[in-house]
A and B are shown apart, each in its own frame.
Chain A
Amino acid sequence: MIRLVALLLFTLLSTVLHASSENDKAKYSLSGYVKDAKTGEELIGATIYIEEIKGGTITNVYGFYSITLVAGKYTVSVSFVGYETLRTTIELSNHLRKNFELQPTVKFLSEVKITAESGATKLKRAEMSLAKMDSRQIEKIPALMGEVDVIKALQLLPGVTSVSEGSSGFSVRGGGIDQNLILLDEASVYNASHLLGFFSVFNNDAIKDLKLYKGDIPAEYGGRMSSVLDIRMKEGNQRKISGNAAIGTISGKFLLEGPFWEDNTSFLVAGRRTWADLFLPLARDTSLHDNKLFFYDLNSKINHKINDNNRLYLSGYFGRDIFRNQFSDISFGNSTFTSRWNHIFNPKLFSNLTVTYSNYYYGLSSTFTEANSYLWEAEMKNWTFKADLGFFATPNISLKYGIHAIFHEFQPGHARGIGSQSILNDIRIPGKNALEAATYISNEHKLIEQLTLKYGVRLSGFANYNSDSVYFYDSNYNLLDIKNYRNRFFGTHVHFEPRAGMVYSLSENSSIKSFYSRNVQYLQMAQNSTAGTPLDLWFSASNNVKPQISDQVGLGYFHNFWDQRIETSVEVFYKYMQNSIDFKEYANLLLNSRMEGELRYGYSYAYGAEFLIKYTLEKLSGWIGYTYSVAKRKIDLINNGKKYYAPFDKPHDFAAVFNYEITSRVSLGANWVYSSGIPVTFPAGKAVIGGVTIPVYTGRNEYRMPAYHRLDVAITLKNKQKPNRNWQSEFNFSIYNAYNRKNAWAINFIEDKENPGRTKAIMTYLFPIIPAISYNIKF
């Protein structure tokens, strides 16, 4: 490993020296930002194409680009999906800072496209297993109850599956829910769901861009094995006050954005609340009148341009689910805060300094009777510091490097009685603190016109700190010892995480790509249900728990047709994961200070092939995806030590997404999904004890739920455009599960009351055909 790192450092040093020597040959940098001409919002992933060199670059996540060229005259094309391409000529005789502003296209259809880059540029980039979306694409997709949902849109992509009917939890390439790093403006989101998983916490109106890395995870990301979902909020309109409001079947929402100081300081505020419970006071049962059952989100952001080289961003999210009645109160939710400072040292060197705070809290309380009144709270939080730099050395070499540090604090549970008559003791599960740190360096290196390499390494470390009660277990999971580590580090782990990838262009319209990625995960969720609950907390690697390590390789063939209007790809992958964790049968994960003794360890693997066809035709757009995959585990003492299917293994997963613009005011959307049922454990025999039938199982996940399929359709009607009207509105009518498929959510075996002694299988399905309507207004 040391040799590998030394070789990598040598290579990187060589490239930088090479870049420096090239600088001596009168080369200059063209750099700046690419923006939306109407709002001033920076565009992420816009393409800057230099016709003379038949190459170019794209803007980074802050909309910044930089390319170094020999002095001369160049024709520059700047393009971004949904915008008119800008073509201009520049004279480069010195370093040039130039911002480009793109006009949104009138033709709305072209916005419905999975990628924001031109197909040709994407073909040549050394990145694969990556999906990008923006909020306008997502809002076109028919949704459950009309509630546009970022994560459910992602579940329509190859390699991404829902963990249960209607759930916003997702599995990437057979991995667990907790193997996805979910970032909102770089702050991690611990539990990305509302209403027990049926809706995600992300308000689509406030989202600008999202990327999902399914395997080829860049070195600047770390901490999860399966994927990184990087969601960026809008910056706020820099030019004028604007906004939108919507009222739908279950929620209402608004967004307001605008400049405090035109082109320098802007703000954004967005909110959402479900409102179905507002009708509870009309219920016949008067005891329900004061009940509360809702969730809400608040997103806010301010960004300020200090000068051409310095920008500040402050953003935050706060969301809660509230369930309240006469005797009990449950609330849970996330809050995040992000502050970022972009600094341009020089046209080639871009930096970003980020400090984030993330928090997940839940509290349960009851005052049903005085004797059992209680309050139970748990909380997780982290503070993250990141310094990331991008060095655009030459058109062919771009380096990224940085350091990250995360301080984690876990309070797994504190339960206590309320009032003098409560019999409950004060129970506090010992909290844990941990420090996670990493440094990384990576380089994207275009060796020749056809071949680009990407290589890098991430060095990560994790250490627990300051704990009074650290439990030690033997190899049979029996408690050995309890030690005190007050003001000391313990349970320390250090790992190298090499990442590499390449793209080889076979022609203007085709390329092959491959990657290798090692990812180490130091945190995992204490969850042993399929879909997850608000009570699921995270726990860290420790003296007992080894970090989970994933090694993944992928190979892909990419071919575009018909002037890049149709993009096709085939990707195959294999993923091997060490130190995989599962829980022993009937594990107790709540308020259990000895939870680590409930864990079992082993390995897991997944492999598969993903097929994708994306099309952007004159009136029709969308994609068709199919995945064949297998995901299995082998965990000590579980399933008698034999391999078993991972909980989210779905061999066949198909999705077709269509959007058809009937007229300029009317569009039709539809998606159809089909997938194999998830693995499930059913009994083979039974014993009857004390009047209760007790199942006898012969193996874990040996059966499957019935296959899942569903058709959703939506039609959107826009108002007529009028010359002096400065607002637009649209009605959206959608039908979820249009042909009323009864998809199994749960299967149980119960006694047949009409035929005692007979046991029958009962399927529960949640969503029959569900129509929804929403009205949106934009100004």
Chain B
Amino acid sequence: MTPKSKMLTQLHRFVKMVATTASAIIMFFFTSCTQEIDIPLDSTYTRLVVWGEISSDTTVHSIYLTKTSDFFNPSLPQGVSNAVVSLSWNSSSLILIENDTVQGLYQTPPNFYALSNTLYRLNISNVDINEDGISEEYFAESQVREIGHIDSIKIQFWPAFKYVSIRLWAKDSITEDYYMIRVRKNGIMLSDSLREWAITNDVIFNGNNTNGIDVYWLDQKREDEKVQPGDTITLEISSIPKEYFDFLWQVYFASGFQTPLFSQTPGNVVSNISNGAMGHFAVIFTRRASVVVQ
């Protein structure tokens, strides 16, 4: 019932343990059931939704512009075309080009990469979300710190739980860091939904060696995550800005299962886009390590 998530900080892991125990109690002592019900919801005005990362990888980077819709609207989000989307940093700037096939997807050239410790500004113009005939402008800023190299990773099987964990050996810096972790199997991204990304801060292991801590779990009951001998597993660890960490953290709660026991009062996810738009623009710095499953 609870959406699967791998987005755990160490602190959240503590709370998660209690919440899981709570679920066990409810299942153990009580009988909980679900049923679909009709809830009439209000409408709200349309907002611009901005979503994009630019990373230290040399590749095509994308900024995706869409619109909000009524909650029960079954249509896929509508992309926002013909916007002027640009990046600027130091004394440089770049205009992103809208993808020919995906409406609202604006992309950099394939030779683009982001620099660490550099402030990037995203500017968006020539959009009229409120359809009043006057173009609106939006912007966001982000910068990220570089992180050290990964020493190694290992795969550990947990047959009793039908999971495989990825263990990490690395050294955390003494600075205040925020990490995002994603995994590829044979080059294919397994963490294909934002809720599948693991995030953590280093509050409780700041400056330490990671000593092979389990940083990501692969569900062996899921066909796409099943690990077999010969598979190459790649761990991507990205340094992310605090604002992006907070955003992902809030997305996790906002899109998760709500109960009176462990859920906060729902609230809007805080965006770093100006002018009331939703979403986030972030610069990230990524390191990788791979292991071939024996």
Does chain A bind chain B?
yes
A422 to B212, CA, bound (A): 10
- Say whether B69 contacts A694, CB under 8 Å: no
- Say whether B211 contacts A682, CB under 8 Å: no
A702 to B14, CA, bound (A): 32
When each residue 186-197 of chain A gets 1 if its CB lies under 8 Å from chain B and 0 otherwise, what string results?
000000000111
* CB of A450 closer than 8 Å to a CB of B: no
* CB of B31 closer than 8 Å to a CB of A: yes
A373 to B17, CA, bound (A): 13
* CB of A306 closer than 8 Å to a CB of B: no
Interface centre among B13, B37, B46, B267 (most CB of A within 10 A): B267
* CB of B230 closer than 8 Å to a CB of A: no
* CB of B88 closer than 8 Å to a CB of A: no
Beyond A369-B213, A590-B14, A686-B69, is A761–B38 a contact (Cβ under 8 Å)?
yes
Residues of chain A lying within 8 A (CB to CB) of residue B210: 371, 423
- Say whether B37 contacts A762, CB under 8 Å: yes
- Say whether A767 contacts B70, CB under 8 Å: no
A706 to B35, CA, bound (A): 13
Residues of chain A lying within 8 A (CB to CB) of residue B192: 691
Q: Which residue of B lies closest to A751 (CB)?
A: B3
Closest chain-B Cβ to A330's Cβ sits at a distance in Å of 6
A682 to B70, CA, bound (A): 12
- Say whether A530 contacts B260, CB under 8 Å: yes
A415 to B249, CA, bound (A): 21
Beyond A293-B24, A586-B249, A764-B259, is A528–B264 a contact (Cβ under 8 Å)?
yes
Beyond A764-B33, A766-B31, is A687–B68 a contact (Cβ under 8 Å)?
yes
Q: Which residue of B lies closest to A530 (CB)?
A: B260
Closest chain-A Cβ to B171's Cβ sits at a distance in Å of 11
- Say whether B264 contacts A585, CB under 8 Å: yes
Residues of chain A lying within 8 A (CB to CB) of residue B268: 585, 696-697
* CB of B76 closer than 8 Å to a CB of A: yes
Residues of chain B lying within 8 A (CB to CB) of residue A427: 203-204
- Say whether B14 contacts A376, CB under 8 Å: yes
Closest chain-B Cβ to A588's Cβ sits at a distance in Å of 8
Residues of chain B lying within 8 A (CB to CB) of residue A475: none
- Say whether A529 contacts B32, CB under 8 Å: no
Interface residues of B in 206-258 (CB under 8 A from A): 206-214, 246, 249-251, 253-255, 257-258
Beyond A425-B205, A534-B18, A768-B31, is A586–B264 a contact (Cβ under 8 Å)?
yes
Interface residues of A in 721-758 (CB under 8 A from B): 742, 744-750, 755, 757-758
Residues of chain A lying within 8 A (CB to CB) of residue B22: 196, 533
When each residue 258-280 of chain A gets 1 if its CB lies under 8 Å from chain B and 0 otherwise, what string results?
00000000000000000011000
Interface residues of B in 9-47 (CB under 8 A from A): 10-11, 13-15, 17-18, 21-22, 24-26, 28-39, 41-44, 46-47
- Say whether A167 contacts B39, CB under 8 Å: no
Residues of chain A lying within 8 A (CB to CB) of residue B208: 423-425
- Say whether A330 contacts B17, CB under 8 Å: yes
Interface residues of A in 108-167 (CB under 8 A from B): 145, 163-167
Closest chain-A Cβ to B29's Cβ sits at a distance in Å of 6
Closest chain-A Cβ to B256's Cβ sits at a distance in Å of 9
When each residue 305-331 of chain A gets 1 if its CB lies under 8 Å from chain B and 0 otherwise, what string results?
000000000000000000100001010
- Say whether A696 contacts B68, CB under 8 Å: yes
Residues of chain A lying within 8 A (CB to CB) of residue B167: 371
Q: Which residue of A lies closest to B195 (CB)?
A: A692
- Say whether A330 contacts B35, CB under 8 Å: no
Interface residues of B in 74-107 (CB under 8 A from A): 74-77
* CB of B110 closer than 8 Å to a CB of A: no
- Chain A interface size band reads 35 or more
- Say whether A695 contacts B18, CB under 8 Å: no
A697 to B47, CA, bound (A): 12
Q: Which residue of B lies closest to A698 (CB)?
A: B44
Task: Tally the A-B contacts, defined by beta carbons under 8 Å.
Answer: 261
Among B34, B72, B77, B249, the residue within 8 A (CB) of A687 is B77
A61 to B13, CA, bound (A): 47
Chief secondary structure at chain A's binding surface: loop
* CB of A681 closer than 8 Å to a CB of B: yes
* CB of A689 closer than 8 Å to a CB of B: yes
Interface residues of A in 407-433 (CB under 8 A from B): 415, 421-425, 427
Closest chain-A Cβ to B78's Cβ sits at a distance in Å of 10
Residues of chain A lying within 8 A (CB to CB) of residue B63: none
A116 to B34, CA, bound (A): 43
Beyond A198-B29, A686-B71, A687-B47, is A529–B34 a contact (Cβ under 8 Å)?
no
* CB of B194 closer than 8 Å to a CB of A: yes
Interface residues of A in 353-389 (CB under 8 A from B): 364, 366, 368-372, 374, 376
Closest chain-B Cβ to A698's Cβ sits at a distance in Å of 5
A688 to B73, CA, bound (A): 12
Beyond A415-B14, A685-B44, is A746–B258 a contact (Cβ under 8 Å)?
yes
- Say whether B76 contacts A287, CB under 8 Å: no
Closest chain-B Cβ to A274's Cβ sits at a distance in Å of 8
* CB of A684 closer than 8 Å to a CB of B: yes
Closest chain-A Cβ to B276's Cβ sits at a distance in Å of 11
Beyond A528-B264, A685-B70, is A323–B29 a contact (Cβ under 8 Å)?
no
Residues of chain B lying within 8 A (CB to CB) of residue A767: 30-31
- Say whether A689 contacts B41, CB under 8 Å: no
Residues of chain B lying within 8 A (CB to CB) of residue A198: 25, 29-30
A627 to B160, CA, bound (A): 53
Closest chain-B Cβ to A360's Cβ sits at a distance in Å of 15
A366 to B17, CA, bound (A): 9
Can you pick out 22 interface pairs between chain A and chain B where the beta carbons lie within 8 Å of each other?
A: A293-B25, A328-B17, A330-B17, A369-B213, A371-B214, A421-B211, A424-B208, A531-B260, A533-B22, A533-B262, A586-B246, A591-B204, A685-B68, A689-B194, A706-B37, A745-B259, A747-B39, A748-B257, A749-B71, A760-B36, A761-B36, A762-B35
For the A-B complex with A330-B17, A424-B208, A691-B193 known, give 18 more contacts whose Cβ atoms are closer than 8 Å: A328-B21, A371-B167, A530-B263, A530-B265, A587-B264, A690-B51, A690-B194, A692-B193, A692-B251, A697-B268, A698-B44, A742-B35, A745-B32, A746-B259, A747-B37, A761-B36, A763-B34, A765-B32
Q: Which residues of A contact B (CB under 8 A)?
A: 145, 163-167, 195-198, 250, 276-277, 287, 293, 323, 328, 330, 364, 366, 368-372, 374, 376, 415, 421-425, 427, 528-535, 583, 585-587, 590-591, 647, 681-698, 700-703, 706, 742, 744-750, 755, 757-768, 770
